[in-house]
Structure 1
Amino acid sequence: MTASLSRLSVRHWSLAGLAFCVLMMAVALGLEHLGGLEPCPLCIFQRVAVLAAAAVFAVAAIHNPAGRVGAGVYGALGLAAVAGGIGVAWRHLWLQSLPPDEVPTCGPGLDYMMELLPWRDVVAMVLSGSGECAEIDFLLLGISLPGWTLIGFVVLALAPLGLLLTAFRERG
């Protein structure tokens, strides 16, 4: 099986990663619009990471570079986007694990912060967390949504790792 996985092209790995990103976004938007769950700022940042990975995979699938450099660049960029998502999901889970007396207070909404503050301050404030990010609104099999998102990002990491495997397999 490992031999067959190592023969997949950049396009194959990229399309698989893109398809998984589409699935992750479909679930997120379905839970929001059909399930009535409003995303907190950390949830929105996780969506941005999914969209960043999707953009890398889409460009890689269209480009389909033949050499090791292209596969390596797309693999590294995809892995960076996925790693960012893993970090944000991990932070979200950590906030949810805090005892109620240690949960940060709720801050202003993301839209409000984006209008008034520089983007660096917005990122810092969102990553520091707020009370709304610590709420657990939904559990499936005892795992909260950030937990499922973390699992999704770990699975999604297989695509950029496959791109890197393809890069190491190629000859120049």
Structure 2
Amino acid sequence: MTNDNVGNPASGLVSRVYDLVTRHWPLLAFLSSALLLAIAHAFERFGGLAPCHLCLKQREIYWAAGAVGLIAVVLQRTPLWPRLRLPANLLLGALFLYGAGLATYHAGAEWKWWPGPSSCSGAGQAAAANLEAMLKGTAKIKAPACDKAAWVFLGLSMAGWNVLISLKLAVWSVLAALRKSEASA
């Protein structure tokens, strides 16, 4: 890093954050994926919000991205990393971009901009408390509907927030991929 930012401390801070994030992106991508999965499971477990079909599909993206991130963290400690840095970070970017697209589809179904999948047209809420009644045959559980937002904050549902978060993660992945390697920096 050069001292081009001596006169502007804010610019220097941005440069340092950029350097830190892009240098350690596989670890941060892994940790971000793990955190988002933990938050989703907390909403389910403690908030009682059962996931719909599309919610579960969105979680799969974070499981995949977390696995790629963890493998990349290990590869960073090998001589292979200089050749694998670009494809690993681009793969993370592609996963997060796919996740943003899936979340956009889900949010659009919630806003009634287009229909959701037929596998997601349930009208009821599944809850752990209903499991015993279902096993006894006295109650039936319907999967949550994909076109009904179960939680909204600042005008966005979980799917809407997921669009923004996934896009941010995709952008950071591409920035990490385009980062000059330490050898040429």
Which ranges in structure 2 are unaligned for 5 or more consecutive residues? 1-12, 122-142
- The residue that corresponds to 2:179 in the other structure is 166
- How many pairs are equivalent? 149
- Quote the Cα distance in structure 1 between the aligned partners of 2:116 and 2:176: 39
- Quote the Cα distance in structure 1 between the aligned partners of 2:85 and 2:116: 42
- Quote the Cα distance in structure 2 between the aligned partners of 1:96 and 1:108: 11
- The residue that corresponds to 1:53 in the other structure is 65
C-alpha distance 131-105 of structure 1, shift in aligned 2 (>3 A): farther
Are residues 1:95 and 2:109 paired?
yes
- The residue that corresponds to 1:86 in the other structure is 100
TM score, norm. by length of structure 2: 0.68
Are residues 1:150 and 2:171 paired?
no
Q: Identify which of structures 1 and 2 has the higher relative contact order when contacts are C-alpha pairs closer than 8 Å and 6+ apart.
A: 1
- Per the alignment, in what secondary structure is the counterpart of residue 134 of structure 1? coil
- The residue that corresponds to 1:140 in the other structure is 153
Confirm or deny: 8 A CA contact 2:52 2:120 kept in the other structure.
Answer: no
- Quote the Cα distance in structure 1 between the aligned partners of 2:21 and 2:154: 36
TM score, norm. by length of structure 1: 0.73
Name the larger-Rg structure: 2
Task: Name the structure where helix makes up a greater proportion of residues.
Answer: 1
- Per the alignment, in what secondary structure is the counterpart of residue 35 of structure 2? helix
1:29 Cα deviation (Å)?
Answer: 0.2
Which ranges in structure 1 are unaligned for 5 or more consecutive residues? 110-129
% identical aligned pairs: 26
- The residue that corresponds to 1:113 in the other structure is none
- Quote the Cα distance in structure 1 between the aligned partners of 2:92 and 2:147: 28
